[in-house]
Structure 1
Amino acid sequence: MQKIMLTGATGLLGRTLYKTLVKDFEVVGTGFNRATPPLYQLDLGNQQAVIDFLEQHQPDALIHAAAERKPDVCENEPEQTIALNVAASEFLAKQCAQRDIALIFISTDYVFDGKTPPYLESAQANPLNLYGQSKQRAEQAVLAHSTRHSIIRVPVLYGDVSELAESAVSVIATQISATQTTAHDNWAVRYPTHVEDIAFTLRDLLKRPENLGGIFHISDNQAMSKYDMACIMADILGYPQSLLEPLDEPSQSAARPHDCALADSRLKQLGIAHGREFKEALKSILLTA
């Protein structure tokens, strides 16, 4: 049985990766200050601790899902962002290459500027904000260390949350109201993707490790703005959509790309496809959160 190490196992994506992969692999999950057994605490900024952990557990593959993923936080905390998103990723890539461990690095559609979608895996990156720039730098470092290393680019994610604010999708449900008018971005086009579908895809790739290496895109294909998502949530929660106001110009501090649709051509060639209808999936999340 393959042994898979997972960083960021306490996060939105990481929790679902752990829950899914543990059914087919031996999984060693790590987190930082929120990690409790069976997960291990590991400070990715402590290079000796990382080396010791790799030597102790000797995984066959490592999924690196830990990151600072909020663009506005990245802009306000550039040093911490570079330390986690770039330096820690590059160190992991180097250590994994030396030990013949296949690294799977979770990246983002924000490495693109959103001007010429859809983007193939071979498309030229041109990130607009520090978050995207940090992920692009990490991608380059990861691929430079081994042809066995993989980049997994994903769009905005949603899924079973510990709190609605944990996802940039489900947080919208905390912003809308049954009695007050609220405004929501109607400029940027998003492709919300369920974390379980990311996990199913990585499971399928890990079962066929000969196909790992290089860049993969994983994305659902339902295009919508945050305003569109708010309308769907209002319908689910029984709120009047008339109280929702569309914002047709960008309004956030960190620049966002307009449309970063990811074309998953490599997965299609492998016959790997997982997706679900957004409204039905979201309904189960909102009504149980």
Structure 2
Amino acid sequence: MSHPNQLEVKQTSIPGLLVVSLPLHQDERGWFKENWQREKMVAAGLSDFRPVQNNVSFNGERGTTRGLHAEPWDKYISVLSGEIFGAWVDLRPGPSFGTTFTLRMGPDQAVFVPRGVANAFQTLAEHTVYSYLVTQHWTAASRAEYSYVNLADPQLQISWPISLEHASVSQADRDHPCLAEAKPVQPKKIAVLGSNGQLGRAFTKLAQDDPRLTLFSRDDLDLQNLDFSSRLDLRGYSHVINAAAMTAVDRAETDDGRAEAWQVNAVAVRKLAAQCAQQRVTLVHVSTDYVFDGTKREIDEGHLISPLGVYGQSKAAGEQAVLAHDENYVVRTSWVVGEGSNFVSTMRRLAEQGVVPQVVDDQVGRLSFTSDLARGIMHLLDSGSASGIYHFQGTGEPRSWYDIARQVYELSGSDPASVVPTSSQAYATNGKTVAPRPQNSTFNTDKFKATGFIHRSEQELLGEYLDLLAAQSNQPTK
């Protein structure tokens, strides 16, 4: 048998099922191999799956056959002694459901088996030692997520080297259902915190067509509660999307508001990030333009944070807690518009009431519609985009709040000249507690676009949003 000279990772006909060629270093005493070497294997293309347990199966007789079992975790299988015929069947929902792959394996190969792919093997030599790493500890509850398919199902067309009639097979494995009756292994769930907020409501709509999304409102999980993380069981989850935040920017400058902002936006996020890291769950944290001072004309992900007020400072602290752990995302956005109270809905209401508002004209940026933002975040996860910081905003030329207010008035059938421009300084002299705001909230979004995400037109989204508000108030837009 020839052995590979270097480590190599190859794709198979089943998405995510990878064959690893392992160099064997031999001399007159025997051989040595690096059966699992994280740094080298990840560099070669293997998932950084971080196993938690190593199991070993000794099989004394040739023809011992086990499987086909699909567990709710990833596995990395190898042969320590002897030889096997391995067989795998994709039991994940989707176009690859039912796809098979087979391989004769000795000590010079290993296979990475992703969650939901059924695994089986048949020993081709006596005293075969079969080893596998897993990414999750077995529990009684996890048993319900298992799926099975019959080794002898003719639809699979698996050519077992030793006939199953003469092989050693357990009765349980002989009784497993055929592929037509096999239970698909559902993907891991994605938790969305803050489902009652503007972004959370956008995820609620996506959840109607995406069963992975599990929504948590403040009633379910309140980040103001000091022990909230003890109520969050992340078993069976791949990601947490933190759309919850204390966003009352002006109130954050008060004594009570300051404490709340730091608890929700910083302290709770630190605990959440630590728990996600402990349970190997990726955290997606939504942040804000307020982590910058607004002195830059266009801000990319590499700019240093420099928050002006308490809200921005608390969000910046939360970002750092998230980024302290690998594989997490921070998605910064600005000027959010979604279902609920926001600048555009306020201007639409004032236009309907005939109010002449004063609107600042020296703060510049772009609107971010939650329907597009929620799609964008799911694209990051589903496309396997690299972890780290991403900036997300609407498209088009940057505009001031005053410019946007005029457009809202015009599209709502009111005179845009009714909107009166004012400066940030003048607006802040009305006796209220007003937090400092960045004068420039224009993001460079090239990194997000490079992931392949296609933004919808900001003008199109604004028109749809105003139409929705008009329908809710039974008033037509222009």
Question: TM-score if structure 2 supplies the norm length?
Answer: 0.55
Note the C-alpha offset of 1:206. 1.6
Give the corresponding residue for 1:68: 246
Q: For 1:169 and 1:262, how far apart are their aligned partners in 2? A: 20
Note the C-alpha offset of 1:179. 4.5
Return the match for 2:294 from 105, 114, 118. 114
Return the match for 1:4 from 181, 190, 196. 190
Judging changes above 3 Å, is the alpha-carbon distance between structure 1 residues 180 and 104 closer, same or farther for their aligned structure 2 residues? closer
Residue 466 of structure 2 is aligned to residue 283 of structure 1? yes
Judging changes above 3 Å, is the alpha-carbon distance between structure 1 residues 248 and 92 closer, same or farther for their aligned structure 2 residues? same
8 A Cα contact 2:347 2:409, kept in partner: no
For residues 210-289 of structure 1, what are the structure 2 equivalents within 5 Å?
Answer: 211-222=385-396, 223-250=398-425, 251-252=427-428, 253-278=434-459, 279-289=462-472
Q: For 1:142 and 1:20, how far apart are their aligned partners in 2? A: 25
Return the match for 2:342 from 154, 162, 167. 167
Give the gaps of 5 or more residues in structure 1. Answer: 34-40
Judging changes above 3 Å, is the alpha-carbon distance between structure 1 residues 245 and 52 closer, same or farther for their aligned structure 2 residues? closer
Give the corresponding residue for 2:334: 155
Partner secondary structure for residue 302 of structure 2? coil
Note the C-alpha offset of 1:48. 4.4
Note the C-alpha offset of 1:180. 4.7
Partner secondary structure for residue 10 of structure 1? coil
Partner secondary structure for residue 276 of structure 2? helix
Give the corresponding residue for 1:125: 305
Choose 150-159 or 168-177, whichever is displaced more: 168-177
Judging changes above 3 Å, is the alpha-carbon distance between structure 1 residues 246 and 152 closer, same or farther for their aligned structure 2 residues? same
The structure in which a higher percent of residues are strand is: 2
Give the corresponding residue for 2:370: 195
What are the superposed Cα offsets for residues 150-182 of structure 1, whole Å, 9 maximum, x if unpaired? 100001111233xxxx11332222334665532
Give the corresponding residue for 1:54: 233
What are the superposed Cα offsets for residues 15-60 of structure 1, whole Å, 9 maximum, x if unpaired? 1023214523422211114xxxxxxx122244544233225x5411
8 A Cα contact 2:395 2:457, kept in partner: no
Judging changes above 3 Å, is the alpha-carbon distance between structure 1 residues 60 and 176 closer, same or farther for their aligned structure 2 residues? same
Judging changes above 3 Å, is the alpha-carbon distance between structure 1 residues 275 and 98 closer, same or farther for their aligned structure 2 residues? same
Give the corresponding residue for 1:31: 217
Judging changes above 3 Å, is the alpha-carbon distance between structure 1 residues 199 and 111 closer, same or farther for their aligned structure 2 residues? same
Judging changes above 3 Å, is the alpha-carbon distance between structure 1 residues 282 and 28 closer, same or farther for their aligned structure 2 residues? closer
Note the C-alpha offset of 1:282. 3.6
8 A Cα contact 2:348 2:466, kept in partner: no
Residue 354 of structure 2 is aligned to residue 184 of structure 1? no
8 A Cα contact 1:217 1:266, kept in partner: yes
Q: For 2:208 and 2:226, how far apart are their aligned partners in 1? A: 26
Question: TM-score if structure 1 supplies the norm length?
Answer: 0.88
Q: For 2:269 and 2:380, how far apart are their aligned partners in 1? A: 21
Choose 60-69 or 213-222, whichever is displaced more: 213-222
The structure in which a higher percent of residues are helix is: 1
Higher relative contact order (CA 8 A, sep 6+): 1
Note the C-alpha offset of 1:229. 1.9
Partner secondary structure for residue 54 of structure 1? coil
* Aligned CA-pair RMSD: 1.9
Residue 268 of structure 2 is aligned to residue 88 of structure 1? yes
Tell me the matched-pair count. Answer: 275
Q: For 2:231 and 2:448, how far apart are their aligned partners in 1? A: 34
What are the superposed Cα offsets for residues 130-159 of structure 1, whole Å, 9 maximum, x if unpaired? 111111111011111x11111000011112
Q: For 2:355 and 2:216, how far apart are their aligned partners in 1? A: 42
